[in-house]
Structure 1
Amino acid sequence: MQPSEGSRIVVGVDGSPSSHAALRWADRYARGVGGAVEAVSVWDTPSSRGWSGPAIDPDFDLGQARELFERELHEVFPDGLPDGLTRHLVEGDPSEVLIRASEGAEMLVVGRRGRGGFARAVLGSVSQRCAQHAACPVVVIRQQDDPAR
């Protein structure tokens, strides 16, 4: 099946080297098919999950997440952001947000290893959940697959 013009390529960005590789891969692919990349970064307030952390101001967390997301994009694309790149910073669970974002997309691109801790590993990785439940094909990129490395 040939990709259609204006293909929407969603990529999860979490600050990990593999998500940076996924973002570069998605950009190369989108340019090849005349599509556009939607970079999705997910944040949450640690204390919103219960007693796991100190009470923190959600506005502060959002500001921190926004700064980190912008810094990551400029780190991956130091010569300037690609034309047509859209950014979405969403509060929530990373796999749920990316699965929702996959609706209507040609492809979802995620890194193999993100910043998840042991608890997430027990429940299953974000990339695994996306591969099982996304509404479109999923490409999982390892940092080692990144030719820009």
Structure 2
Amino acid sequence: MGDHTIQRVEINGGVVTGVDGSASSKRALVAAAEEARRRGSVLHVVRAWSLRTAPRPADCPPNVVPSVDQFEETVRADTERIVAAKLGEHADLPVEYHIVHSPPPQALLSASKGADLLVVGHRGRGGFAGLMLGSVAEQCVRHAACPVLVVRPNV
């Protein structure tokens, strides 16, 4: 792949969260939906992916390397499925998806430039380790261009 440019996420207002399928990102998704509802704004769901992290397209034969477009479609479908499963009573909330081939911190930080709020989960470990944010959450807290809400695990 000759194109190594990092895709940016450009939005204009609303609440942003990143979804990657982890438990902490699902908690952040629910909190972000609640915030978007409270503010009467759009929920922007960012899914940053790479060839290493993307789910493999189901209809692609084992010996064939899927195209970037096929990967992107699979990642989008996976993300929409996660969101539909978690939103529950917020199912009628306006949601915009941003599926970007980018490292997660860069995707979320670029989205933060136009957002009203960025919601991130963090993978607490309990005890003193529970004070440590995941590297993505930490980078967002330090560098985001908008307020950041960090959703802690239910301890």
Which residue identity is paired with 2:77?
Answer: E
**1: CA distance between counterparts of 2:118 and 2:90?**
23
Gaps of 5+ in 2: 1-11, 54-63, 125-133
- Asked if 1:88 is matched to 2:88, the reply is no
Which residue identity is paired with 1:76?
Answer: K
Give the aligned length: 125
Equivalent position of 2:14 in the other structure: 8
**2: CA distance between counterparts of 1:100 and 1:13?**
15
> 1:94-142 CA distances to partner (integer Å, 9 max, x unpaired)?
000100000121110011039xxxxxxxxx6100011111101111112
Alpha carbons 1:109, 1:140 under 8 Å: kept: yes
**1: CA distance between counterparts of 2:90 and 2:118?**
23
Equivalent position of 2:47 in the other structure: 41
**2: CA distance between counterparts of 1:56 and 1:127?**
32
RMSD value, Cα: 2.7
Alpha carbons 2:33, 2:93 under 8 Å: kept: no
Instruction: Identify the match of residue 59 of structure 1 among 69, 90, 108.
Output: 69
- Asked if 1:127 is matched to 2:137, the reply is yes
Runs of 4+ with >6 A deviation: none
Alpha carbons 2:137, 2:150 under 8 Å: kept: yes
CA apart distance, 1:46: 2.3
CA apart distance, 1:86: 1.2
Identity of aligned residues (%): 37
Gaps of 5+ in 1: 1-5, 48-54, 115-123
**1: CA distance between counterparts of 2:144 and 2:85?**
28
